[in-house]
Amino acid sequence: MPRTVALLSLGGAPGVTCAAMALAAVWPGEAGAVLVEADASGGDVATWRRLQLAPGLTGLAAAARHGGGAADLAAHTQVLPGGLAVCPAPVTADRAEGAVRLLAQNPDVLASGDGPAVVLDLGRLTPGAAASGLAARADEALLLVADDLAQLRRAKEAAEPLARSLPCLRTVVVGGTGGVREIEGALGPDVWGRIPSDPRSAAFLRGEANLRKPHRRPLLRAAARLAGDLAGAAAPTDAAARSVAETTGVPA
């Protein structure tokens, strides 16, 4: 079972943070997962969920620098009302980039052992970005690409260098309908499938809206399937997906 999963994009706004939050919330197993927002351009979770910036990524990066693998990830997370542990990034790029760079230089702090899996929200990955080191060290890396011509073309042109630097990379298509055979033909065989565009679920994850049955929403069901595939778990059930209502702290 992978212990670290990195989510990233090459541009645009395919919804990396919402996907990462959903994936962490429905991760199978008793230990679950923690969301680490390591987006060098600045984070969104603290604003969305009205969190303080500490504990968070800045403190984790400093602790990793001084304590290496001995730093305690749990000490730098905040727990949403339902139980999802999140490590929020600073909201501005100047502070976030420095923290991500420090963390990339000392990534052993993310080795969770028998603890929760770590879901990394890396945001947009640019050439030479500090987050590239975190993506390379992850057990699984997921490239989120919106189903539009510009993003698919960008992903196609970047496929070969990305495969060299991220051998565990898989592509996840966001939005659109139908199968992914044509996209596989352009990008290669490591296309997991689609995560549907689901604005209502995105608003739910941001804490802006209530959903009566969030576990039945397309985004959350897809996240549960993806989490099960990555973790090598049995096919997820509605009960597994339903846990997102509790772990994100938004009542169903």
Q: What is the pTM of this model?
A: 0.90
Q: What is the pLDDT of residue 57?
A: 96
The rounded distance, in Å, linking the Cα atoms of 111 and 252 is 33
The rounded distance, in Å, linking the Cα atoms of 70 and 96 is 22
Q: What is the pLDDT of residue 237?
A: 47
Does any domain span residue 252? no
Q: What is the pLDDT of residue 58?
A: 96
Contact 29, 1 (CB under 8 A): yes
Does any domain span residue 227? yes
Q: What per-residue string of b and e applies to 17-33 under the rule 16 or more CB within 10 Å gives b?
A: bbbbbbbbbbbbeeebb
Instruction: Please count the structural domains in the chain.
Output: 1
CATH code, domain carrying 235: 3.40.50.300
Does any domain span residue 170? yes
Q: Which domain holds residue 211?
A: 4-247
Q: What is the pLDDT of residue 69?
A: 55
Q: pLDDT per residue over 169-205, tens digit each?
A: 999 999 988 888 888 888 877 999 999 999 999 999 9
Q: What is the pLDDT of residue 68?
A: 60
Extract the residue ranges of the chain whose pLDDT is less than 70: 1-2, 67-71, 112-113, 233-252
DSSP string computed for 45-64 = HHHHTT--SSSSHHHHHHHH
